[in-house]
Amino acid sequence: MSISSMHSMHTTNSESKDEYRSVRSSTSSQTFRDPVNGSRKGTKETVLLNSEETIPQTKQRIYFSCPPQGLLNKVMTNGIILFMSWCLLLVFLGNEVLPNGSLFGLVIIFYSACVGGILLQLIRIPPVPPLPPLLGMLLAGFIIRNIPSIAKHVKVPTWWSSTLRSTALTVILIRAGLGLDPKVLQQMKTVCFRLSFGPCLVEACSAAVFSHFIMDFPWQWGFLLGFVLGAVSPAVVVPSMLRLQEAGYGAEKGIPTLLVAASSMDDIVAITGFNTFLNLIFSKGSVLHNILSTVWDVLVGVLIGIVFGVFIQYFPSEDQTRVQKLITSAWNFFEPLLFGLVGSEVSVSSLKSNAIGTCVITLCLGVLFRILSTFALMCFAGFSFKEKIFIALSWMPKATVQAVLGPLALETARLTAPHLESYAKDVMTVAFLAILVTAPNGALFIGILGPRFLTRHWDPSKVKLHLPALEGH
**Range in 367-381, 401-415, 455-469 the model is least confident about:** 455-469
pLDDT in tens, 358-370: 999 999 999 999 9
Contact 228, 431 (CB under 8 A): yes
Query: In terms of pLDDT, which residue wins out, 407 or 362?
Result: 362
User: Residue 392: which of 269, 211, 255 has the closest Cα?
Assistant: 255
Q: How far apart are CA 389 and CA 220, in angstroms?
A: 32
pLDDT in tens, 426-459: 998 899 889 888 988 888 889 889 989 998 875 5
pLDDT in tens, 162-184: 788 778 877 877 776 666 667 76
pLDDT score for 83: 85
pLDDT score for 150: 87
**Whole-model pTM?**
0.71
Distance of CA 287 to the CA centre of its chain: 37
Residue 309: pLDDT band (50, 70, 90) is: confident
The CA–CA distances, whole Å, from 357 to 119, 427, 429 equal: 29, 14, 11
Give percent of the chain above pLDDT 90.
20
Q: Parse the chain into domains and list their residue ranges.
A: 67-97, 170-470
pLDDT score for 370: 95
pLDDT in tens, 122-131: 887 776 677 7
Query: In terms of pLDDT, which residue wins out, 82 or 389?
Result: 389
**How many other CB atoms sit within 10 Å of the CB of residue 375?**
18
DSSP-based three-state secondary structure for 456: strand
pLDDT score for 472: 41
- The CATH classification number of 170-470 equals 1.20.1530.20
Identify the DSSP state of 258: H
pLDDT in tens, 211-226: 999 999 999 999 999 9
The pLDDT of residue 23 is above 70: no
Identify the DSSP state of 242: H
pLDDT score for 33: 39
Residue 376: pLDDT band (50, 70, 90) is: very high
